[in-house]
Amino acid sequence: MQTAEVVIIGGGIVGSSIAWHLTESGCRDVLIMERESHQGKGSTGKSMGGVRAQFATPVNIQMSLYSIPFYASFEAQLGLPSEYRPQGYMFVATRQSHLDYLTTNQEVQKSLGLTQVRMLTRDEIVDMVPQLRADDVLGGSFCPTDGFVDPYSVMVGFTTRACEKGARLWRSTEVTGIICDNGRIAGVETTRGPVSTPVVVNAAGPWAAQTAALAGVALPVEPLRRMLVPTEPFDGVSHAIPMVVDMTNGFHFRPEGLGFLLAWNDPEETPGYKTDFEPAFIEKVLVRAADRVPCFENLAVNPKRAWAGLYEMSPDHHAIIGPVPERPGFFCANGFSGHGVMHAPATGRIVSDVILEGTSSIVENAEVLSPGRFARGALLHETAVL
Closest to 7 (Cα-Cα) out of 149, 188, 246: 188
Count residues binding ligand FAD (CB under 6 A). 40
Contact 217, 370 (CB under 8 A): no
Residues in the chain: 386
Site for ligand FAD in 326-355 (CB under 6 A): 336, 338-342
Q: What is the distance between the alpha carbons of residues 374 and 316, in angstroms, rounded to a whole number?
A: 9
Q: Contacting ligand FAD (CB under 6 A), which of 8, 19, 33, 229?
A: 33
CA distances from 226 to 73, 276, 337, 354 (A): 29, 10, 11, 31
Q: What is the distance between the alpha carbons of residues 27 and 230, in angstroms, rounded to a whole number?
A: 41
CB atoms within 10 A of CB 240: 10
Q: Contacting ligand FAD (CB under 6 A), which of 7, 15, 154, 320?
A: 15
Classify residue 4 as exposed, middle or buried by CB count within 10 Å of its CB (0-12, 13-18, 19+): buried
Shortest Å, Cβ 17 to ligand FAD: 8
Q: Contacting ligand FAD (CB under 6 A), which of 20, 207, 253, 281?
A: 207
Q: What is the DSSP letter of 131?
A: T
Q: Contacting ligand FAD (CB under 6 A), which of 140, 157, 309, 322?
A: 309
252 is a site residue for ligand FAD (CB under 6 A): no
Binding piece for ligand FAD, criterion CB under 6 A, among 7-15, 109-117, 231-239, 353-361:
7-15
Q: Contacting ligand FAD (CB under 6 A), which of 140, 187, 205, 255?
A: 205
Q: How far is C-alpha 283 from the chain's CA centre?
A: 26
CB atoms within 10 A of CB 236: 12
Integer Rg of the chain from CA: 21
147 is a site residue for ligand FAD (CB under 6 A): no
Shorter beta-carbon distance to ligand FAD: residue 67 or 370: 67
47 is a site residue for ligand FAD (CB under 6 A): yes
22 is a site residue for ligand FAD (CB under 6 A): no
Shortest Å, Cβ 138 to ligand FAD: 25
- The residues that touch ligand FAD, with contacts defined as CB under 6 A, are 9-15, 33-36, 41-44, 46-50, 174-175, 203-207, 211, 226, 228, 309-312, 336, 338-342
